[in-house]
């Protein structure tokens, strides 16, 4: 048994199911699916995932069957463990490809190959599921390679749409445009996704990203939103302008609002009011924004003309409200201070201050440093939203100090970008963009 699989079993037997699954996720490509399946079955039973437990048990009993590998991979995707699904679906695809043509008798003495439609349908089904698993792991380059290898067997929707999407997500704009322009008009459920990648390509043509480290450029292409600040830490060590962890403060909140005001002024946007969201952090930030803009506030109501909706973290907001923000009027803007890039919110904002994996708001408990530089746990700030808004307004706008290795991120650079973003604010539904796209960043496991 491989050392990694042994470690996963040890963690499971010690009661650490989450740790066991983490090991399986990280080692999945190096372990035969049938060897992992018995442990996956036990983990699935413990989590109450009977479908995955059954598929894992079936694969253990007969490991060399494409159908069982496919069913196991499918169940893994359904339960959110795409990384474990990938090797099983790769093996299923290999087996389906290797199947010989089946001869059938067509006359007394003659035989000819059976039509290949059934085989091709099976291959396509496995192929698309493998692509889905790779997309779930944000392995878009691999997904694109698989799609291109089997292009002759692909249909247009969704097959070659997936080629367009994965080409965009790994930075191949020219290929994405070439395939997209050859597609017929989408119908039914594919109209929305087709329009979404079409808008991405329009933005890429209007304002092409500089390279695969142009976080602001790619954020705009993929989401239609403007990113107003870049993390000043670890740019060349894998972060590329995103935060892994940030202990936020009132000065940085004020800095984010000042950057928002700069974007609004540069693009000649004049909100008539600020829509307040119910959670305390968003309400505090919204009240501060309204003071700086000199406009009234009111609880957010969908479709309010000229409203600027302000959120601290959309993942902390009422899901019902987020559903209402999915489609917004042309003059309705959404601002989010801390956008999670590893678990993107259900809707994308028109303006985001920062992209972070874990952001601790100034009013939440977190680490502080005493006079001697020692870390200590800070108590949560229990003040009301109105009092927090006053603290934000009283703070000096300051960006976090960096390591000196990050390219300059001046307000002039942001304004120049915003004025060139001809298609901003975005139109159409503000879909969740689950992938980090071509700009890769290090993340916590």
Number of Cα atoms under 13 Å in the Cβ half of residue 74: 16
Q: So what's the pLDDT on residue 125?
A: 94
The CATH code belonging to domain 215-420 is: 3.40.50
Q: So what's the pLDDT on residue 238?
A: 82
Q: So what's the pLDDT on residue 221?
A: 96
Q: So what's the pLDDT on residue 236?
A: 81
Crossing angle for the helix pair 191-206 and 215-223, to the nearest 10 degrees: 140
Residues of the chain with confidence (pLDDT) below 70: 1, 100-121, 367-376, 445
With beta carbons less than 8 A apart as the criterion, state whether 388 and 363 touch: yes
For domain 3-98, the question of CATH label 1.20.1440 is answered with no
Sequence-separated (6 or more) residues with CB below 8 Å from residue 172: 144
CA dist 342 and 355 (Å) reads: 9
Which residues sit opposite 309 in a β-bridge? 275, 334
Q: Do domains 3-98 and 215-420 have the same CATH topology?
A: no
CA dist 38 and 57 (Å) reads: 7
Residue spans of the domains in the chain: they are: 3-98, 155-206, 215-420
Q: What are the tokens at 164?
A: 């367009």
Q: So what's the pLDDT on residue 330?
A: 80
């Amino acid at each position: 048994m491989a050392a990694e699989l042994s470690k996963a079993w040890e963690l499971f037997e010690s009661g650490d199911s989450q740790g066991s699954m983490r090991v399986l996720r990280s080692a999945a490509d190096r372990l035969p699916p049938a060897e992992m399946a018995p442990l996956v079955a036990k983990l699935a039973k413990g989590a109450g995932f009977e479908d995955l437990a059954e598929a894992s048990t079936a694969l253990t009993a007969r490991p060399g069957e494409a159908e069982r590998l496919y069913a196991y991979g499918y169940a893994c995707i359904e339960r959110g463990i795409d990384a474990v699904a990938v090797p099983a679906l790769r093996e299923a695809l290999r087996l389906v490809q290797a199947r010989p043509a089946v001869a059938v008798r067509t006359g007394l003495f003659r035989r000819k190959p059976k039509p290949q439609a059934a085989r091709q349908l099976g291959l396509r089904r496995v192929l698309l599921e493998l692509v889905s698993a790779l997309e779930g792991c944000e392995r878009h380059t691999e997904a694109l390679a698989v799609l291109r290898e089997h292009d002759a067997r692909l249909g247009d929707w969704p097959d070659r749409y997936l080629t367009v999407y994965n080409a965009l997500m790994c930075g191949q704009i020219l290929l994405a445009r070439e395939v997209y322009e050859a597609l017929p008009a989408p119908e039914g459920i594919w109209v929305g996704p087709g329009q979404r990648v079409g808008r991405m390509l329009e933005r890429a043509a209007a304002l092409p990203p500089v390279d695969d480290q142009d976080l602001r450029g790619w954020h705009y292409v993929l989401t239609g939103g403007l990113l107003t600040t870049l993390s000043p830490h670890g740019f060349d060590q894998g972060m590329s302008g995103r935060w892994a962890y940030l202990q936020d403060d009132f000065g940085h909140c004020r800095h984010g609002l000042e950057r928002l005001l700069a974007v609004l002024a540069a693009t000649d946007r004049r909100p008539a009011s600020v829509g307040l969201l119910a959670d305390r952090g968003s309400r505090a930030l919204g009240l501060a924004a309204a003071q700086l803009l000199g406009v009234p506030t009111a609880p957010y109501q969908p479709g309010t003309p000229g409203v600027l909706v302000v959120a601290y973290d959309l993942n902390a907001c009422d899901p019902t409200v987020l559903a209402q923000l999915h489609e917004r009027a042309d003059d309705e803007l959404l601002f989010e201070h801390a956008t999670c890039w590893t678990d993107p919110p259900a809707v994308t904002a028109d303006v985001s201050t920062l992209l972070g994996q874990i952001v601790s708001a100034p009013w939440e408990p977190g680490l502080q440093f005493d006079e001697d530089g020692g870390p200590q746990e800070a108590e949560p700030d229990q003040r009301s939203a109105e009092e927090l808004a006053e603290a934000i307004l009283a703070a000096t706008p300051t960006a976090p100090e960096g390591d000196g290795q990050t390219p300059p991120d001046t307000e002039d650079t942001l304004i120049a970008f915003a004025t060139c973003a001809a298609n901003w604010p975005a139109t159409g539904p503000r879909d969740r963009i689950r992938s980090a796209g071509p700009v890769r960043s290090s993340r916590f496991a």
